[in-house]
Structure 1
């Protein structure tokens, strides 16, 4: 694992801040100063930052956050925009997000202090449920793509302007329910498993339709419930059990 990643995952420092610490000669591996940013390491090595040894986390906690619109899921922003870490208490600054919600989206975001748990959740097949409001009506072509999937050679509309992703394959939705379909706007509840880069915005963008509101209300075994925007809670006992069972199952089938 890259050295800056180990530092970021196990301290309050971002990867960029970790890079600066490495450049300044404040990071050591097995007692030797390391200044090469491409250096890789593991916890079989003794890694220290500014004289303090890093230890790999053995236990973990999972935080549920109801992300409001207008926050980036990032530790830092070059343009000075607000991030989730500006809102979260400082004691959660080392927590990692399970995937992302873009700046204009809201709803359920999971954060965890274990990189391995974050990776298992991000790369698993847990269902994500969203409420999507679009500028226009739900067309038969959209419904067919929801049911059967879609290959979009040009999936740039709805994506970030700086994204290098042009084409995208959209898997069939696990489920969908049209709540309202009107010429001016429509609302649909959708369930997907992948959550690719701005997947839903790109999906509807392919049909020249803008997503004006997007809210995630469920991620696998965790529901947003009555949690208010900007508020947090930890997983409950039954949720932790379901999470442990899920991770154990994914480990078994990958062996």
Structure 2
């Protein structure tokens, strides 16, 4: 009976409620709770495992923390290593990002994907709306790429102006049903190393279609040897170690809320 009542009242952990409805991070919320500065319905609380419902009155000091339904979501960042799949389950028993993240994130949705051989930034959220808006946005995705050959003028021309391919199967997964693909001009690119043995680039694109970069370079006979995404919409890995995750910072949440509340994507 108690469980049914909690679900009906949308019970939320107190630190999560505070971080999603104020400018405090979860860590800062925990400190406020430990210091006895948070009250629920007029009574101070210090237990970090305390939960609240939408009917509770939460205050930090005298300031009332009001629920903003647009902010009641969680987004985490994960630095995916090579050799993990961005999926809930794999029929072949290969390791997935959820095996590394743990059971508490089983209900989260990945925002876009990185293939088995790629690494870097993956965002995950417990909100379908947030996931959909970010996945279908034109926010910049920035990658570092290594290919097994030279970046010749035709490659640069396609990066600058885009290219439409009837056959975009080079670099695609063997079971992919997507054959043709239209590649928009890259938002930006920088060639870091360029020679016949291998080349390294930093590229920014505004989409994240099915193996888009592998297909693009594959068309020019360039096999992608390494691919790492390190930024998505201004949110960056920074020093997050491979295989580790973190919550967004309060500044990242602030920028994300501004984007989600805007009409343009």
CA deviation digits over 1:161-211, x for unaligned, max 9?
000111110000000000000101000000000111000000000011100
Distance 1:57 1:238 in 2: 16
Matched with 1:33 is none
Is 1:61 the counterpart of 2:74? The answer is yes
Q: Tell me which structure has the larger Cα radius of gyration.
A: 2
Deviation at 1:88, TM superposition (A): 0.7
Contact 1:126 1:193 (C-alpha < 8 Å) held by counterparts: yes
- 2:71–2:257: 8 Å Cα contact kept in structure 1? no
Match of 1:217 in 2: 230
Q: 1:92 to 1:58 in 2, by over 3 A?
A: same
Match of 2:121 in 1: 108
Shift in alpha-carbon separation, 1:148–1:58, aligned structure 2, 3 A: closer
The structure 2 residue matched to 1:166, chosen from 179, 198, 203, is: 179
1:154 corresponds to: 167
Superposed counterparts of 1:1-255, under 5 Å? 59-249=72-262, 252-253=263-264
In the alignment, the residues of structure 2 paired with residue 111 and residue 176 of structure 1 have an alpha-carbon distance, to the nearest angstrom, of 26
Distance in 2 between the 1:118 and 1:62 partners?
9
Q: How many residues align?
A: 197
**What is the aligned-residue RMSD (CA, Å)?**
1.5
Runs of 4+ in 1 over 2 A off after TM superposition: none
| Change in 2 beyond 3 A, CA 1:91/1:202 | same
Query: How far is the alpha carbon of 1:58 from its aligned partner?
Result: 7.4
Q: Any stretches of 5+ residues in structure 1 without a counterpart?
A: 1-55
Q: Which runs of 5+ in 2 are unaligned?
A: 1-68
Note the alpha carbon deviations across 1:200-238, whole angstroms, 9 max, x for none. Answer: 000000011100100001000200101000001100001
Q: Quickly say closer, same or farther: Cα 1:127–1:253, change in 2 above 3 A.
A: closer
Distance 1:244 1:58 in 2: 7
Structure 2 length as normaliser, TM-score? Answer: 0.73
